[in-house]
Amino acid sequence: MKNFPIRLKELRTEKDISQEELGLIMSLSKSTISLYESGKREPDYETLKKLADYFGCSTDYLLGKTNIKDAVKQNSTVEEQILAMLGMDDDLTKEEKKILAEDIADYFEYRRAKLRGARP
């Protein structure tokens, strides 16, 4: 979990909360948060999940297994998930997201045909 301390501190700092405040939110002591951020202690799975839920990211992001910060929303469409992974979901209307997702799907279809030697 070598990336966990770095990611936790970054996320906490982005929310502009202190270790003490995060501890209160998570029902942990300030010293526990400090130990997490210094890499001297690791959270159990339940605490890791609670932290990910609070920060709106995946446990994989917290652990450094992915650089995709935003957790995929349970009820989001495939198109919304793709756009989120590409970082293209900000400030777009629903219609713009749909058009962009269709463009991405068309491009992938074109590339697949080209790779297989077919005329697109």
**CB within 8 Å of 70: residues ≥ 6 apart:** 56, 57, 84
CB burial of residue 12 (10 Å; 0-12, 13-18, 19+): buried
How much is the pLDDT for 88? 67
Separation in Å, CA 6 to CA 36, 57, 97? 9, 14, 32
List the CATH code of the domain at 4-63: 1.10.260.40
For residues 48 and 54, give the distance between their C-alpha atoms in angstroms, rounded to a whole number. 10
Q: In terms of pTM, does the model score above 0.85? A: no
User: What residue spans define the domains of the chain?
Assistant: 4-63, 78-115
How much is the pLDDT for 119? 65
* Average pLDDT along the chain, 120 residues, taken 10 residues at a time: 90 95 95 97 95 90 83 59 68 81 86 81
How much is the pLDDT for 65? 86
